[in-house]
Structure 1
């Protein structure tokens, strides 16, 4: 019996795959639970259409993420902070600070996408990774300098 899986089924396949199963397994387990549909010509055409739509949408999202990554590379961020002894900051620069600085420069980025392992606590220039898409990661240059009194 040929079926199209609607969801991932352990030891059988991933959602969207056409699988061949024994009739009893398909009729008594997969179909009643809504895990699969019969692989008739109409359902196969619909699956192919959904795959092409999903691929086009994924390509559009990736292109958008690559454009944002390019814009991030061209948009350095400078943050002024109060400094104490030996150029140590009174506090730190966090992902939220970087996200707010990027928004002020016209680049909308979610703070959770900024991959800052630990907050920046010293002066200097840093390159911070930004996760934009599952395949695309950008980098933003962050310069932390002393605040002028």
Structure 2
């Protein structure tokens, strides 16, 4: 299906371009969200008459997104979740949870603006990309921890999944001899 793009769509084209896309992509995504029009003579004339207002609205949205990006860039957010001793979460942190963490600090973004390919499944510091506009992308740091105290220690660079943090043992001091005595009864004997 041929469509006229009403705004820049990543990996597809710029505003005003006529591109060929699959029918389902056009019917289910581009047309309902107002990102494109079917390519026919009436819609081409309509686009040309509305081009100035569309470009002005796009510039306005981009300006607003740039202002939010300046505030968000490099900012860190804490998400507290239950996790095992090894740092594996009992659930996961998804885009919805990131949106909630941002909303708690007064930022309103949609789930579709969070670029998270797979859910976060372990504690630690994670970089997350946010697409605020088709031309504006910003990265924030997500601090996933078991408690706020743990999040503070993590943000200072302390590893919370090492043996030292979990068991109070220095990993470098661990030797096999400390756990296994080769001269003990039955060790090394063939039965």
* Shift in Å, 1:36: 2.5
Q: Which runs of 5+ in 2 are unaligned?
A: 5-16, 20-38, 149-191
**Aligned: 1:82 with 2:87:** no
> Deviations for 1:113-141, whole angstroms, at most 9, x for unmatched residues?
11111111111111101112111112121
Q: Secondary structure at the match of 1:85?
A: coil
Q: 1:120 and 1:14, CA in 2 relative to 1: closer, same or farther beyond 3 A? A: closer
Q: Secondary structure at the match of 1:128?
A: strand
> Deviations for 1:84-143, whole angstroms, at most 9, x for unmatched residues?
131111111111111001111100011121111111111111110111211111212100
Q: Secondary structure at the match of 2:86?
A: helix
> Deviations for 1:7-36, whole angstroms, at most 9, x for unmatched residues?
75xxxx849xxxxxxxxxxxxxxxxxx932
Q: Which residue of 1 aligns with 2:118?
A: 118
Higher relative contact order (CA closer than 8 Å, sequence separation 6+): 1
Distance 2:76 2:50 in 1: 40
TM-score of the superposed pair, with normalisation by structure 2: 0.51
Distance 2:40 2:50 in 1: 17
Cα root mean square deviation, aligned: 2.8
Alignment of 1:1-149 (within 5 A): 8=4, 14=18, 35-36=40-41, 47=48, 50-73=50-73, 75-147=75-147
Q: Is the 8 A contact 2:94 2:116 kept in 1?
A: yes
Q: Secondary structure at the match of 1:84?
A: coil
4+ runs of 1 displaced by more than 4 Å? none
Distance 1:35 1:119 in 2: 41
TM-score of the superposed pair, with normalisation by structure 1: 0.64
Distance 2:88 2:18 in 1: 52
* Shift in Å, 1:74: 5.2
Q: Is the 8 A contact 2:74 2:139 kept in 1?
A: no
Distance 1:77 1:84 in 2: 21
- Tell me the matched-pair count: 113
Distance 1:82 1:14 in 2: 49
Distance 1:93 1:110 in 2: 16
